[in-house]
Amino acid sequence: MPYLMQPAIAPGTLSRTPQPTLRTADGDLVLRPFEPEDAAAIHAAFQDPVLQHWHIRTMDSADEAGEWLESVRAGWHKETCAQWLVVRAADGEPLGRMALRSLNLEDGVAEVGYWVMAGARGLGVAPRALTAMTDWALAAGFHRIDLEHSTGNEPSCRVAEKAGYPLEGTRRSSALHADGWHDMHVHVRIRQD
């Protein structure tokens, strides 16, 4: 049975090209595809108690981080996710991660995921990197990008607002964290915003 509409993004659009490297508007930050050499930095980031508090997984070794990186790189080719390491442009120092998860090319919808390393928090890394990734995603054909965070995670709320993601609502008791069920704020960017 044929569909009445064409996909928002044709299958193969992402996977037939290399994952792009992105820059923030000020040029200070680079979002680049992950490389196998990033395993040690990723493992170190996951040792941070703040990052652990808001995430549902751990990273127990650099080898485990390497396996995770392989799945991240495969996600681009499968068109299921697009993830970048955020680095300082001046010296390549890893500062965080930006991700578009749960890519739905047919509907042009994706979910945001991100974290910033402890030493880079409070420097505006997350909102600038999120803006760069969002600009790329909307230009690539995505129609709606969802950003959800625990209502208890006020820094993520500020990141969303600074990056132009207005609050759409609250999903009650919708995410299980290590400390129990959390209400989640839903922030959204839509292409015509």
- Cα distances (angstroms) measured from residue 167 to each of 27, 31, 99, 164, 185: 28, 25, 19, 10, 7
pTM, to two decimals: 0.95
SS3 at position 32: strand
Distance CA 99, CA 84 (A): 6
How do strand 144-150 and strand 109-116 relate by DSSP bridges? Answer: parallel
| pLDDT tens digits along 24-47 | 999 999 999 999 999 999 999 999
DSSP string, 107-173: TTEEEEEEEE-GGGTTTTHHHHHHHHHHHHHHHTT--EEEEEEETT-HHHHHHHHHTT--EEEEEEE
**DSSP run (H or E) holding 177:** strand 167-177
- Gap between the Cα atoms of 64 and 39, Å rounded: 8
pLDDT computed for residue 178 by the predictor: 85
What are the pLDDT digits (tens) for 57-112? 888 999 999 999 999 999 999 999 999 999 999 999 999 999 999 999 999 999 99
Cα separation, 133 vs 127, in Å, equals 10
| 163-173 pLDDT per residue, tens | 999 999 999 99
Q: Are strands 82-88 and 94-104 parallel, antiparallel or unpaired?
A: antiparallel
